[in-house]
Amino acid sequence: MLAGKHPFYEPGRDDYKGCRSKIMYTDPDWRRLQLAGGAEVSGLVPLDEGDNNLTRMKTIRRDGKHLCSRLLEKEPQKRLSARQAMAYPFVRLYLADSTSSFSAGTSGEDMLQILQEQAFRALFLFARLDRLSQATLRLVAKELDEPHISPEFRALFSRMDGDGDGLINRTELIEQAAAWDPKDVKLLAAALATSSAASSAANGDRGGATARAESHLSYRDLLAALWLMPLVVAERPDGDNENGIKLAAGCNVVTPKDTVGTGSALLADIFPRFALGQDSGITRASLRYTLAPSQCHAKTRATGLNGFERVTSEELDAIFAFYASTSSADHPDERRRSHASPESISYEQYRAGFRKLQRQYAAESARMSLTSTIGGV
């Protein structure tokens, strides 16, 4: 937060395992914490004037340093809670700045309201996806480097997270879905939370976090649902001219920089987990294993996303029919073979399937406003 980038980020190397390793096995840089907190820690060697950390700290805002010192308080009673930290002036200013650049005739609050309505469309679309597509998007969200996530998405999540605890509970979801039928939103919340709980269990969380996931959506849950969705803000001119809608602002879930390369690299990394390293691609057997309930495996499986009910033959038929049809336009002969008895999903079909999903998301978004390209697969 103070340095302006993910605290454990290394360009080209940052991922879930790398961050976890740094958190678990790296000794803290107490000299930097000393400067950030303004505390006097005995036995520390003073920093040299040429030290990069010292130079960086001199450029950081005073209120940012003060917030950091409050977060580093040793006594829990004096330390800021998550809700207090989100309400801190330094954080609120950051959230305001993240939306101000998109206010071309539209206020930041109005922009977030429009984006939130589109976000609910993305959530409903995500809840209807097949298991392979959902699992892939959850893995994308899990492994997407923080610098690639746009500040507009962070501002949107903060708005939906009413109490600032870092989780969106069912009450918050229903309260903020004013344009939707409350019954539909309750079903949506249940479907998304169940899938989220399954993901937590698969990652070795058999206790409290899994129980919490049953009634909450996390930052990464929302990111998974919105990754393919073009989020845009449109402004209507005076007179409510239906044909006069003009683009006032755009919001990408993923930052515009290298979005296509980022999406392609993530899909290329995720595909072998469902194929279990087989050259033949994703087969019915590999999907039965990777999407099987967690209790069926003695060890955590390759994708890290089990916990679903056992996948049925009908679901497998639908998955293979969808991905087999993605290459039919370019390969008519392959179309006949795919519809007859698809035996595997190649990487080209897998990637083309997500291009098709992206077009479906774009068409859904176009019903509300103008569209712009995001994600990139």
Q: In sequence order, which residues have a C-beta less than 8 Å from that of residue 189 and are 6 or more positions away?
A: 170, 173, 174, 217
Instruction: Judge if 209 and 327 occupy the same domain.
Output: yes
Which of 81-85, 130-134, 326-330 has maximum average pLDDT?
130-134
Instruction: Judge if 80 and 110 occupy the same domain.
Output: no
218 part of a folded domain: yes
Q: With pLDDT > 90 as the criterion, what percentage of the chain qualifies?
A: 3
70 part of a folded domain: yes
Instruction: Judge if 259 and 168 occupy the same domain.
Output: yes
Q: What is the DSSP-derived secondary structure letter of residue 78?
A: T
pTM of the model: 0.60
Instruction: Judge if 178 and 250 occupy the same domain.
Output: yes
pLDDT band at residue 369 using 50, 70 and 90 as cut-offs: very low
Give per-residue pLDDT as tens, 9-25: 555 556 666 666 666 66
Instruction: Judge if 130 and 80 occupy the same domain.
Output: no
Give per-residue pLDDT as tens, 156-200: 888 888 777 778 877 777 777 665 666 666 666 666 655 554 444
| Angle (nearest 5°) at CA 143 between 137 and 144 | 85
Q: Give the range among 235-244, 253-262, 340-349 with minimum mean pLDDT.
A: 235-244
Q: So what's the pLDDT on residue 282?
A: 92
Enumerate the β-bridge partners of residue 250: 232
Last residue of a domain, one of 61, 83, 98: 98
Question: In the chain, how many domains are there?
Answer: 2
Q: In sequence order, which residues have a C-beta less than 8 Å from that of residue 371 and are 6 or more positions away?
A: 230, 232, 362, 365
**281 pLDDT higher than 70:** yes
Q: What is the DSSP-derived secondary structure letter of residue 298?
A: S
Q: So what's the pLDDT on residue 3?
A: 44
Q: In sequence order, which residues have a C-beta less than 8 Å from that of residue 277 and are 6 or more positions away?
A: none
Q: Provide φ and ψ at 251, rounded to 5°.
A: -135, 120
User: Using an 8 Å Cβ cutoff, are 290 and 302 in contact?
Assistant: yes
Q: Give the range among 14-23, 26-35, 337-346 with minimum mean pLDDT.
A: 26-35
Mean pLDDT across the chain: 65
Report the run of H or E that residue 8 belongs to, with start and end.
Answer: none
Strand 216-218, strand 167-169: pairing: antiparallel
Give per-residue pLDDT as tens, 72-98: 888 888 888 877 777 777 776 655 555
Last residue of a domain, one of 39, 64, 98: 98
> Whose structure tokens read 């949506």?
188
* CA torsion, ordered 62, 64, 69, 72, to nearest 10 deg: -170
More confident residue, 309 or 275: 275
Q: So what's the pLDDT on residue 337?
A: 46
Instruction: Judge if 228 and 291 occupy the same domain.
Output: yes
Give the residue from 220, 166, 221 showing the smallest Cα distance to 189: 221
Instruction: Judge if 122 and 200 occupy the same domain.
Output: yes
The angle that helices 62-71 and 30-37 make with each other, rounded to 10 degrees, is: 120
227 part of a folded domain: yes
User: Using an 8 Å Cβ cutoff, are 103 and 96 in contact?
Assistant: no
Give the residue from 356, 315, 322, 360 showing the smallest Cα distance to 339: 322
User: Using an 8 Å Cβ cutoff, are 227 and 375 in contact?
Assistant: yes
What range defines the domain where residue 52 resides?
Answer: 30-98
Distance CA 15, CA 115 (A): 28
> Whose structure tokens read 């961050």?
19
More confident residue, 377 or 60: 60
43 part of a folded domain: yes
The angle that helices 89-100 and 108-127 make with each other, rounded to 10 degrees, is: 80
Instruction: Judge if 115 and 236 occupy the same domain.
Output: yes
Distance CA 46, CA 1 (A): 24
Q: Give the range among 88-97, 176-185, 202-211, 349-358 with minimum mean pLDDT.
A: 202-211
